[in-house]
Chains A and B, each alone.
Chain A
Amino acid sequence: MAEIPTQEQIVAMAVAAIAEEAHTDASHIRVIRFARVRRSGLERYVEEHGIDYHKYQLGDEAL
C-alpha cells in the first residue's frame, strides 16, 4: 500500500506544482497559510467503499 504523505510533504508537493506553473523556483514561494480541502460526502463514500467511479462526461461513450 502507498504511504500516506505527511502534511509537510503535501505542502512541498503543492509548492513544487505552483512553482512549475509559475515558471519560477520553489524557493521564491512563501507559504502563508495551508489548509487541507475537505472531501465531499460523495468523495468519502467512494473512497471508503473502494468504488471505481468516474463521473460521466460528454463524449465518454466515444472512447
Chain B
Amino acid sequence: MWDREYYNELDHRRAAARLGGGKVRVERQHERGKLTARERVEALFDDETFIEVDDQMLSRCSDFGMEQKKVLGDGVVTGWGKVHGRTCFVASQDFTVGGGSLGEAQAQRICRAMDMAYDMRVPFVSINDSGGARIEEGVVGLSGYADIFFRNTRASGVIPQISVILGPCAGGACYSPAITDFVFMARHNSQMYITGPAVVRSVTGEEISANDLGGADIHATRSGVSHFVYEDDLACINGVRRLLGYLPQNSDDASLVVPGTEVDETYRIPEIVPDDQRRSYDVREVIDTFVDRNSFLEVQEGFAKNIVIGFARLGGKTLGIIANQSTYMAGSLELNASDKAARFIRFCDCFSIPLLTLVDVPAFLPGSQQEHAGIIRHGAKLLYAYSEATVPKVTLIMRKAYGGAFLAMCSKGVGADIVFAWPIVEIAVMGAAGAVSIIGRHAIQTAEDPSAKKEELLDDYNAKFMNPYIAAEHGFVDEVIRPEETRRRVVAALDMLRTKRQTRSERKHGNIPL
C-alpha cells in the first residue's frame, strides 16, 4: 500500500491551488457581482468535463515581497473541457490572486494552453480579469504579453479564438483580445483601455470615468472592439457557449449540424419590404422569414448599425449573413460598416462558413468627413474580403443596388457564385433622380417645359434601368425570383456549392488595405 502521506500532500496542494486568493477575496469578487475564475470555467464547460493543467505552477519572483505572496497556479486557471461535447481550451485569470496580474508563470500557463489548443486544432477561450502586468516581476512579466500576442496571431484563421472580458483589461493586455476573433464584455464589470482614467487625466487633463472611457457599451457601439455585450458573467459565458455552437473546431473542420425548426415565412416579405425605395424596414425581419427558428445570432449589434452581420442556420447548417440595414443611414456603406463586414467575411472564409449577402444599398456614404477619414481605404477592405473569400457566396439583391456599393456587396465581379434578385430590384449606377440631373441636364435646361422634360427623362430612365432585368440580361443576376422562392433557392444554391473548391495563386499572403 502507498503511504497515506502521498495523498495528504497531493490533497493539500490541490486544495491550496483551488483556494485562489482566499475566502475574503472571493467574497469581495462576489460582492462586485463577479464570479471567480473557476466558477467561470465551470459555467463555460459541459458539466464535469474540465481538466486543469499546471495548477502547481508558482511565480519565481522574490523581489518586492513576492516571496510572501506566491499562490499555486499564479493567478490563472488553464486547461481543457468540452463545450457541446467538443474539446475547447481555456485560460481564466483569477482576480483574487494579485488582481489577476500577469507574471512570468501565469504567462507560461496561458501560452501552454494556447499551444495545446493550436496543436489539437480546437477553440481557445481567454477569460480576462486582470489589472495588467505584475509590476514586481518587471519586464519578465510584461514580456509574457508578447508571447500571447504571437500565439494569437499564429492561431488566427486556424482555430476560433474568443476573448471574454469580465473585469479590467488595460494597457498591453488589450491587444490579445483585439487579435482574437470575438470579444465578449459584461455590461457592468468590464473595461478595456490602453491608458486608464488616471493617466488620461494626468496627460491630457480630460476627466472621464473608466466606463465612459472603455466600458462595454462604448466598445460595443463606438469603437467596435467588442462583438457581444451581456449583463453579467453568467450571461456572457452562456453567450460564448451559444457562439461556439455555430463554429467549427478549426479551419479544416465542419460546423456542427444542429437540427432546429425550419422556417419558411417568405410569403411575408412583401409586407416587410416596401417597394417604395425611400421607406425603410428592419432587414432582421427578412432574415427571420427563412433561417431556422430563432437561429440568427447577430454579431456587433450596436456598432455600425447600417450593416447587419451574424450567424444563422439553414437546415441546421451554419451560415454567415451580411445585410444592409435600411433603417440606419439608409443602409449606405461607410467606414465602420466596411470594416465590420470585411472582418466578418474573412472570419467566415477562414472557417469555411458559407456567406449569404442581402443587398439593399444606395451608395458609399458621401461627404468630406468620410473621404477625409479614409472611406477609400476602408471600403477597399470590403471589396478585398469578398474577392479573397473562396467559401460559397450567395447574394440576394432585395431592393436597390447602386454604383460602387452594388459592386462591393458581393456582386458577380467580386466573386459571388450565385446572385438572386427580387422583381422590385433597381440595379444602376445611381438613383434615377441623380442620374437624370447629370445625363439630362442640357436637355432639361433647354426644354420649353423643364419640369415636364425632367419627368419624361425620369420615366425613361426608370423604365430602362430601374429593374433587375438589364443586369440579368448581362449575367450580373442569375435569376430573378419571387420572394416566396427565397428560402428554397438559397438552400438549393448552398447545397450545390457544398463541394466548391477554389484555389488562389500561391503566395505568402495578400496585402489587405488596413
Contact = CB atoms under 8 A, between A and B. Distances in A.
Binding between chains A and B: yes
Interface of A: 40-42, 45-46, 49, 51, 53, 55-63
Interface string B61-92: 00000000000000000000000100000000
A62 B261 contact: yes
Given A55-B238, A56-B241, A59-B259, A45 B294 contact: no
B100 to A, nearest CB: 17
A55 to B, nearest CB: 7
Interface string B158-184: 000000000000000000000000000
Given A41-B36, A42-B42, A62 B245 contact: no
Nearest to A59: B258
Query: Which A-B residue pairs are the 10 nearest by beta carbons?
Result: A62-B260, A56-B238, A42-B42, A56-B241, A61-B294, A42-B39, A41-B39, A58-B84, A58-B245, A56-B242
A56 B242 CA distance: 7
5 contacts: A45-B35, A55-B47, A55-B238, A62-B260, A62-B292
Count class of interface residues, chain B: 20 to 34
A59 B241 CA distance: 11
A2 B292 CA distance: 41
Contacts of B260: 59, 61-62
Contact of A42 (B35, B239, B256, B258): B35
Given A62-B261, A62-B293, A62-B295, A45 B241 contact: no
B43 interface: yes
B242 A41 contact: no
Interface string B81-123: 0001000000000000000000000000000000000000000
A63 B260 CA distance: 9
B453 interface: no
B236 to A, nearest CB: 11
A16 to B, nearest CB: 24
A4 B84 CA distance: 33
A39 B238 CA distance: 20
Given A55-B238, A61-B294, 15 more contacts: A42-B35, A45-B30, A46-B234, A53-B234, A55-B241, A56-B239, A56-B241, A56-B242, A58-B245, A59-B258, A59-B260, A61-B260, A61-B295, A61-B297, A63-B294
Contact of A41 (B38, B234, B259, B295): B38
Contacts of A42: 35, 39, 42-43
A35 B258 CA distance: 38
Contacts of B43: 42, 55
Interface of B: 30, 35-36, 38-39, 42-43, 47, 84, 234, 238-239, 241-242, 245, 256, 258-261, 292-295, 297
A42 B239 CA distance: 17
Contact of B234 (A51, A59, A60, A63): A51
Nearest to B243: A56
A41 B18 CA distance: 10
Contacts of A41: 36, 38-39, 42
Contacts of B258: 58-59
A36 to B, nearest CB: 17
A52 to B, nearest CB: 10
Contacts of B297: 61
B310 to A, nearest CB: 12
Contacts of B84: 57-58
Nearest to A46: B234
A51 B47 CA distance: 18
A63 B258 CA distance: 13
With most chain A CB atoms within 10 A of its CB, the pick from B42, B234, B258 is B234
A40 B45 CA distance: 13
A34 B30 CA distance: 32
Nearest to B40: A42
A49 B33 CA distance: 10
B242 A45 contact: no
Contacts of A60: 242
Q: Which of A40, A41, A46, A56 has the most chain B CB atoms closer than 10 A to its own CB?
A: A56
A51 B33 CA distance: 11
A61 B84 CA distance: 14
A62 B294 contact: yes
A60 to B, nearest CB: 8
A55 B49 CA distance: 14
B298 to A, nearest CB: 12
A7 B473 CA distance: 80
Contacts of B294: 61-63
B239 to A, nearest CB: 8
Nearest to B85: A58
Nearest to A53: B234
A60 B260 CA distance: 9
A53 B230 CA distance: 14
B292 to A, nearest CB: 7
